[in-house]
Chains A and B, each alone.
Chain A
């Protein structure tokens, strides 16, 4: 069955430092991959997506993610974190063989210290 693993429940980084949030998925073929961000009390905002092609994708708010087929990973990165990036980040996977749903990871809570 499809599964998505975000191994880090919490991450704390200093403002201005770089960030990498990890995401691993379990699926036979290449799925559709997403990162969403949820600020406290807010809905989920789509940061970026990977369907095919260039394995490095750019998203909003200065985020990027790299798809690595050999590692079944889709890690989210940002070169310099801002205090406003503090939120919960979710990796999600979609695949036609499993219907149209998205399967979400458990989320990673990002704290930014000044």
Chain B
């Protein structure tokens, strides 16, 4: 158990819908990262937040957005869902800028868009 929690574990929804994925980082970690894992693209970095502020952005679609709240949990919002958005979405956390790359991953949320 990495200490990173993600809910829900599974999500099935229809095209055009909007969903919210939730992540709670390890206790004391200030950075939260979101990754998408799909069969064709592999593991891709989406976005990072550090202590409530956006820190880095990857290949995140405009239909996707994220935020980190004062209690440091983070949410990833996916809207106007398409079939191709079906993937496993991981959240990871790290202590912050001192050791930014040692990231601990949650169990993931499997999103299925039908």
| A→B interface (CB under 8 Å) | 32, 34, 36, 42-46, 49, 90, 94, 96, 99-107
Contact = CB atoms under 8 A, between A and B. Distances in A.
A90 B105 CA distance: 13
Instruction: Give chain A's interface secondary structure class.
Output: strand
A100 B51 CA distance: 14
A44 B105 contact: yes
B52 interface: no
Interface of B: 2, 4, 31, 33, 42-43, 45, 48, 50, 55-56, 58, 90, 92, 94, 100-108
A94 B90 contact: no
A13 to B, nearest CB: 23
A100 B56 contact: yes
A78 to B, nearest CB: 21
Contact of A49 (B48, B102, B108): B102
B100 A100 contact: yes
